[in-house]
Structure 1
Amino acid sequence: MTIGASDYDVAVIGAGPAGATAARVAADAGCRVLLLERAVLPRYKTCGGGLIGLSRAALPVGFDVPVRDSIDRFTFTLGGRLSRTWQTGSPVIDLVYRDELDAGLTALAVDAGAKLEEGVTVNGLERAPDGATMRLRTSAGEVSARAVVGADGTSGRSGTYVGVTLDQIDLGLETEFARPDPAAGDWAGRILIDWGPLPGSYGWVFPKGDALTVGVIAARGNGAATREYLAAFVDRLGLTGTPELRSSGHLTRCRAEDSPVFRDRVLVAGDAAGLLEPWTREGISFALRSGKLAGSAAVRVAAATGENALGFATAGYRAGVESVFGAEMRAGRAFHTAFSRRPAWFHAAIATAPPAWNVFRRFVTGETTLSRLASHRAVDLTLRALS
């Protein structure tokens, strides 16, 4: 297989939410866009698949979200104990399979004019001697573009090229179960969040129509203990022996605060840039929003004919990332630190105190953010005391 035309305005690596969004935005602006995906869509992606308010607001207008379940009930436990369920009255989270979501977003990019090439791996990036283009070495041949958006995940080539640095790496383990017998619990419209035994860990149960997604996440380096947590969690849920559809694991990576988000004519977005919320490790809203920023910035990078113009375009992207995500990630780190040290306090607050539950609900719906919460003096002092 070889790629046809070799010169593009914008090349996007990765057809996840960040890459598909960036490709659509750049194509809508009239750019010749090439979207490279190493797999063939639709392809499975390890992900809880929860669309919170910020994610839903960031989706394209009119997009037909492939919802598998909508959530209006939240159950919280602490190590499987002290269960409490709250009801919101109306759905506040939509649950999706990432293969279906990504395929739908990619179809919109193609409809906008982006050229999709599947089954293509990017093996290297380099700036052309004239400085005006980037060369991409791929499994289907070499291609050049005036701007590149790297959205190829946490271990992709683009993040390495840009020099993304990280300050938090976590291991997530996930198993998809066939929908169990009703005796195992009423899961339709309800998710469970279990604050776990390892520092900063938690588990989840997300219903998706004919299946349940069950997972846990904890700091990397505790692999054996994380696997033990998942096994114990599954057993407590009464799912041991329920047919497994698939099991998988992945690493989530949060960028260091001073990590670069571009180099030369390459911009990174989503997981490739280490953009996700450090406490909950929610990444879909970060991917969608950073993909939109990167797509717009890539249009300006592609149009830049000199180093000064290129500098303005890339600096604008960096400023946009800091403006949209900087405060959110700093607040997320503060919440993560406090939660890692006092999970029982968090459980007691959210599970038993209506005001704290209401704050959590407002965060999930997008009515507020962790950065806004952390800006309140009482919350800031509480986080400092817990940490």
Structure 2
Amino acid sequence: MPPPVSSARTPAVRDVIVVGAGPAGATAARVAAESGRRTLLLERAVIPRYKTCGGGLIGAALAALPPGLPLKVYDTAGRFTFALDGRKERTLICSSPTVALVYRSELDAALTEAAAAAGAEVQDDTAVTGLEEEDGIVTVRTNRGDAFRARSVVGADGSASRVSRYVGVECAQVDLALEVEVPVDERAAGRWRGRVLMEWGPLPGSFGWVFPKGDVCTAGVVAARGNPVALRAYKDDFLRRQGLVGPRPLHDTGHLTRCRRPDSPLARGRVLVAGDAAALVDHWSREGISYALRSGDLAGRAAARIADAAGAEATAAADRYARQVEEVLGAEMRASDSLMRLFSRNPGLVHTALTRVPAMWRRLDAYVAGRTSVAGIMTSPLGRTAVALGDRVPLGRQRTPAGETTSAR
């Protein structure tokens, strides 16, 4: 990683400033720099930094990585085990093992290195404290007392984004994820090698997961924000049943995931948002890396155009970015929202469809491999039939970890 850049040694006005060096931000910075724009990438933490994330790269994410990116893959999932609240476990084989299991700290560092190699300046350990736009220039203020100026800004500073608040991003769904990284012995590592677990949980819209990474397993649970006590109880029960409670976790963290409202803004003036800052996350699986990489690419291209534009042309470039995100990622999110509503009402129906209807598993397998999208699944005859059937079935009753029952949302 290059050393931090002093504002005294750099141009007074840059073309593009990117806030946040995750997959969206590092990609946006690389793309803008590759186009010849003077680009500054700011990151609040010191790179490399830990990031709460399962670290599973599905086909759409792998396809969006820059060619030749040096990244260590600790395992590749060729089998998916599905379970319904600890019952009805069934393991299915992927037609082409695709899901690459990595550490987010290493992924983000590699993407940031690629941005630096493309010519972007990188300054980490720098938090953005505010921004303002005047006369076609955006001023970005930091905790170091800097006031960087640019003709375009991309906010990719995560789900708690300051840039997101500036743009006015609104969310339709907010979830809490609790995750641990647990060392495992050779026997346990062998049991999990090449296999991921997805368990549909006891809380509405919840699930638990285990992702193997050699001598470590990343495991966690996620559900709608609002009942943290029940979610912690589910996590404890889930980890106990998976045999992951003995060793002291390397990390034991939680974070919020946010899914945007369909009409939520993606730009304000010359400021764009991408990735988690734009709340671009799959409603059902809460997968966000593929959304981050793809929106980061679009944002980097749009920021380069905005930097060269004035007045109405800059507005048109920002509007074009919003349309592109809506047409591709927005369509996928609308489909995943439909699936999430079905899953929340009837997790048993979804489980049965995935594990007992071969055609449905083939659809999901194709999605994991990057051969189709959630929209492709939900608009298929099978997907439409499942939604219609789910709408006719009464709301399910799910138990909480303490044993009570609760209506699915």
Mark yes or no: TM-score above 0.5: yes
Q: Which of 132, 135, 142 is the aligned partner of 2:147?
A: 142
Please say if 1:222 is aligned against 2:227: yes
Please say if 1:102 is aligned against 2:89: no
CA RMSD of aligned residues (A): 1.4
Residue in 2 aligned with 1:238?
243
Tell me the alpha carbon deviations over residues 194-215 of structure 1, each in whole angstroms, 9 at most, x when there is no partner.
0100111000000112200010
State whether residues 67 and 94 of structure 1, in contact with CA within 8 Å, keep that contact through their aligned partners in structure 2.
Answer: yes
Distance 1:320 1:181 in 2: 47
The CA deviation at 1:365 is 0.7
Residue in 1 aligned with 2:78?
72
Q: Which of 32, 39, 64 is the aligned partner of 1:26?
A: 32
Please say if 1:252 is aligned against 2:260: no
User: Match of 2:245, as an amino acid?
Assistant: T
User: Match of 1:206, as an amino acid?
Assistant: F
User: Match of 1:309, as an amino acid?
Assistant: E
Residue in 2 aligned with 1:341?
345
Residue in 2 aligned with 1:177?
182
State whether residues 184 and 239 of structure 1, in contact with CA within 8 Å, keep that contact through their aligned partners in structure 2.
Answer: no
State whether residues 69 and 207 of structure 1, in contact with CA within 8 Å, keep that contact through their aligned partners in structure 2.
Answer: yes
State whether residues 180 and 239 of structure 1, in contact with CA within 8 Å, keep that contact through their aligned partners in structure 2.
Answer: no
Q: Which of 300, 303, 307 is the aligned partner of 1:298?
A: 303
The CA deviation at 1:183 is 5.4
State whether residues 19 and 128 of structure 2, in contact with CA within 8 Å, keep that contact through their aligned partners in structure 1.
Answer: yes
The CA deviation at 1:376 is 2.5
SS at match of 1:287: helix
State whether residues 58 and 288 of structure 1, in contact with CA within 8 Å, keep that contact through their aligned partners in structure 2.
Answer: yes
Distance 2:201 2:137 in 1: 48
Q: Which of 76, 87, 93 is the aligned partner of 1:81?
A: 87
Tell me the alpha carbon deviations over residues 271-298 of structure 1, each in whole angstroms, 9 at most, x when there is no partner.
0001011111110000000000000000
State whether residues 95 and 365 of structure 2, in contact with CA within 8 Å, keep that contact through their aligned partners in structure 1.
Answer: no
| Farther off after superposition, 291-300 or 184-193 | 184-193
User: Match of 2:179, as an amino acid?
Assistant: E
The CA deviation at 1:240 is 2.1
Please say if 1:332 is aligned against 2:339: no
| Farther off after superposition, 190-199 or 86-95 | 86-95
The CA deviation at 1:151 is 0.2
Distance 1:60 1:229 in 2: 38
- Inter-CA distance 190–32: structure 2 relative to 1 (3 Å threshold): same
Distance 1:155 1:240 in 2: 30
SS at match of 1:294: helix
State whether residues 34 and 116 of structure 1, in contact with CA within 8 Å, keep that contact through their aligned partners in structure 2.
Answer: yes
Tell me the alpha carbon deviations over residues 203-248 of structure 1, each in whole angstroms, 9 at most, x when there is no partner.
0000112200010000000111111110000111122222311100
SS at match of 1:350: helix
Q: Which of 368, 373, 376 is the aligned partner of 2:380?
A: 376
Tell me the alpha carbon deviations over residues 297-342 of structure 1, each in whole angstroms, 9 at most, x when there is no partner.
000110112x211121111111111111121011000000000111
Instruction: Determine what percentage of the aligned residue pairs are the same residue.
Output: 51
Q: Which of 193, 202, 212 is the aligned partner of 2:198?
A: 193
Residues matched between the structures, number: 384
User: Match of 1:76, as an amino acid?
Assistant: F
Distance 2:161 2:379 in 1: 35
SS at match of 2:250: strand
Q: Which of 263, 280, 285 is the aligned partner of 2:285?
A: 280
If the length of structure 2 is used for normalisation, what is the TM-score?
Answer: 0.91
Q: Which of 8, 13, 21 is the aligned partner of 2:14?
A: 8
Distance 2:367 2:49 in 1: 30
Distance 1:276 1:139 in 2: 29
State whether residues 269 and 291 of structure 1, in contact with CA within 8 Å, keep that contact through their aligned partners in structure 2.
Answer: yes
User: Match of 1:336, as an amino acid?
Assistant: M
State whether residues 57 and 102 of structure 2, in contact with CA within 8 Å, keep that contact through their aligned partners in structure 1.
Answer: yes
The CA deviation at 1:382 is 2.1
Residue in 2 aligned with 1:308?
312
User: Match of 2:251, as an amino acid?
Assistant: R
Distance 1:183 1:255 in 2: 38
The CA deviation at 1:372 is 1.5
Residue in 2 aligned with 1:157?
162
Please say if 1:127 is aligned against 2:133: yes
Mapping 1:35-54, distance limit 5 Å: 35-54=41-60
State whether residues 68 and 96 of structure 1, in contact with CA within 8 Å, keep that contact through their aligned partners in structure 2.
Answer: yes
The CA deviation at 1:87 is 1.7
User: Match of 2:320, as an amino acid?
Assistant: G
SS at match of 2:191: coil
Give unpaired runs (5+ residues) of structure 1: none
User: Match of 2:150, as an amino acid?
Assistant: A
Give unpaired runs (5+ residues) of structure 2: 392-409
Distance 1:247 1:332 in 2: 28
User: Match of 1:94, as an amino acid?
Assistant: A
| Farther off after superposition, 335-344 or 320-329 | 320-329
Please say if 1:206 is aligned against 2:211: yes
Distance 2:186 2:116 in 1: 41
- Inter-CA distance 290–95: structure 2 relative to 1 (3 Å threshold): same
Distance 1:308 1:355 in 2: 49
The CA deviation at 1:169 is 0.2
